[in-house]
Amino acid sequence: MMPISSSDTSTGGSRRETVCLLLAAVLLGAVVRFSGLAERGLAEDEVNKIQAVRQYQQGDFTGNAEHPMLLKSLVLVSVTAADLWNRWGAGTNGGRLTEEVAVRLPNALAGTLTVIPLFLVGAAFFSRRVGLLAAFLWAVGIHAVFVNQMAKEDTLLVFFLLWGIYFHWRMKTTPDEAARRKRMFYLLSAACFGLMLASKYFPHFWAVTLLFFYLHRRGNPGLYPPDRYGKRELLLYVAVMGAVFLLANPMILHPTVLAHIISYTGQATVTHHGYVMFDRLFPNSITLTPFGGTPWYFYLLALAVKLPPLVLLAFVGGTALCARRWRAAGPMFVLLWLVFWLVPYSIVGVKFLRYQLSLMPAVYLAAAYGTFAAAEWLAARWFRAASPVYRWIPETALTALVVLASLAALVAAHPFYALYVNAIGGGADRAAYYFPHDECYDLQLREAIAGTLRQAPPGSVLVGETPAVFSYYLKQSGRRDLRVANLSDARFALPVTAPRFVFLQPGRIYYENVAFHSRLWNREDDLLSVGIDGRPMVRVFRLDGTEFGEIVAARDTAPPRVQVPLEMYFLTAD
């Protein structure tokens, strides 16, 4: 069985203290994730989840078919519970639960609880103290919190992935003599990977896990007990994983869902293209793999400018140390995860910041490893002749400093965590500059819609990039007299006399609508502007039919899929 590091007993001490510290990480993670859930309006993906859940309640399970069912099933429970609360409990016991909160609750809870499997994986491959620090870094990690607060599948993917890895390690390190325990861990691992696939269709994470255990066992056979599991057990493993996947995602077998997935992966359902980075529009499509889409350094840049500087320094140092000690379980695990994540994700043509969530466990493990290595170096240098008691000083100071630095960044960015940029990237002045599509994520669109509705006459048309969000909030407001049109859809036709309200967002710039941004954004005669810290997130313009037609004509003649300098300064703070 793989031995736990001797340093394991130096932090956390007894198991009781370790449990208390882990519970503290869970509580801390819960506080930061459950606060501010209602302060942001719904994004397009979240409205799609709510619409799918409402279809589920009517017996139609084909909605939002490009994504697996597991998250939608959990959102169904959450939204139904919120409906019951609002119907029976809100009047006597408290306020209403909005759908903004209800749709985000499952991921906020799963993200909070992810500290547990991350700690277990860290303790298994490194030491208990590394696992604890990684758990705290996840609890207050600004990127983890940002993604955990949105209704996207990445959170559940990471949650079940880490549990699958942990149970697989328990199976591999359990001797054949303990047959019942070994079989239990084996089946639990298979079930967790099945749930991972039912969260998001990313099977390669399972393959990387198997590769790690194969390589580490081959290089360190003495650390594992004899294992008689063979092809029959592997078939059982795959069968259990597949069965759990189908139980959690049965609609994958429905012809309508399969047809939609094929259409979606073939880009047939995509109405807009492009991703803005540093005021330049890049292609962002899976069909442009390799190196034809967003820049290959997308995720490396995200690590450099989105991690708090101390965490970034600890990560770089920990990764370098892993490279030096690559034969050990923890370093090999981190290196494989980094390589098999960064290389394929960097060359693929489509990239989004939220995908990076599945990289963050390796980042936090490396940062924790680097922090304790630095503490040991300082202790050996400064407290060589001192009592062993004093050697705890640098360890305690460094771990507290790294966690507090991460927490300080989180508090400073509350509740718009996605806008955080560290000092290396330029700080707050560069918010929504590097990755505006993910950083803005329809921020303040709810408020912009509400402000426009107070001025829009009957029969008006609201034109923007997120028709589902517009339709949702129009229904909430009771304004059924207004129409909604997709700014990037060349097929729509507008009544000649209808007032047109064009919504422009720095996070929704595409090749199909860049003509609107180039023509309108720098103008001062907008109807209204809604922003954060002086930086506009949404600007609304009222256009007459002539000007609107001119911009549509310019849009239809724009060259597709080339880098287009925007020559705009809409991302610069006032």
Question: And the tokens for 182?
Answer: 């070994």
What was the pLDDT predicted at 77?
Answer: 97
Please tell me the distance from the alpha carbon of residue 517 to that of residue 463, in angstroms, as a whole number: 13
Q: What is the mean pLDDT of residues 526-547?
A: 92
Phi and psi at 512, nearest 5°, equal -75, -20
Say which residue the tokens 């620090």 belong to: 133
Question: What are 349-374's pLDDT values in tens digits?
Answer: 899 999 999 999 999 999 999 999 99
Apex CA 488: angle with CA 483 and CA 494, to 5°? 35
- pLDDT band of residue 6 (cuts 50, 70, 90) is very low
In contact, 206 and 196? CB cutoff 8 Å: yes
Least Cα distance to 233 among 167, 181, 182, 173 occurs for 182
What was the pLDDT predicted at 267?
Answer: 58
In contact, 162 and 114? CB cutoff 8 Å: yes
Question: And the tokens for 81?
Answer: 């519970």
- pLDDT band of residue 532 (cuts 50, 70, 90) is very high
- pLDDT band of residue 270 (cuts 50, 70, 90) is low
User: 478 in the Ramachandran plot: left (φ > 0), alpha (ψ -120 to 50) or beta?
Assistant: left
Contacts of 116 (CB under 8 A, 6+ apart): 22, 26, 135
What was the pLDDT predicted at 434?
Answer: 96
State which amino acid sits at residue 408. Answer: A
Indicate the domain borders of the chain.
6-287+297-413, 442-565
Percent of the chain with pLDDT over 70: 89
- pLDDT band of residue 196 (cuts 50, 70, 90) is very high
Question: And the tokens for 218?
Answer: 């081959």
- Whether the per-residue pLDDT at 12 is higher than 70: the answer is no
Question: What are 239-254's pLDDT values in tens digits?
Answer: 999 999 999 999 898 8
Residue 353 CB neighbours (<10 A): 20
Question: And the tokens for 398?
Answer: 């460094």
Question: What are 117-150's pLDDT values in tens digits?
Answer: 999 999 999 999 999 999 999 999 999 999 999 9
Mean pLDDT, the chain, integer: 88
What was the pLDDT predicted at 567?
Answer: 41
- pLDDT band of residue 558 (cuts 50, 70, 90) is low
Please tell me the distance from the alpha carbon of residue 58 to that of residue 397, in angstroms, as a whole number: 56
State which amino acid sits at residue 53. Answer: V
What was the pLDDT predicted at 556?
Answer: 67
Most confident of 94-98, 385-389, 453-457: 453-457
What was the pLDDT predicted at 55?
Answer: 94
229: three-class secondary structure by DSSP: coil
In contact, 560 and 273? CB cutoff 8 Å: yes
Q: What is the mean pLDDT of residues 450-475?
A: 94
What was the pLDDT predicted at 546?
Answer: 82
Angle, helices 467-477 vs 445-453, to 10°: value is 50
Most confident of 294-298, 390-394, 559-563: 294-298
Contacts of 93 (CB under 8 A, 6+ apart): none
Question: And the tokens for 30?
Answer: 């819960």
Please tell me what DSSP assigns to residue 88.
Answer: I
- Whether the per-residue pLDDT at 467 is higher than 50: the answer is yes
Q: What is the CA radius of gyration of the chain?
A: 25
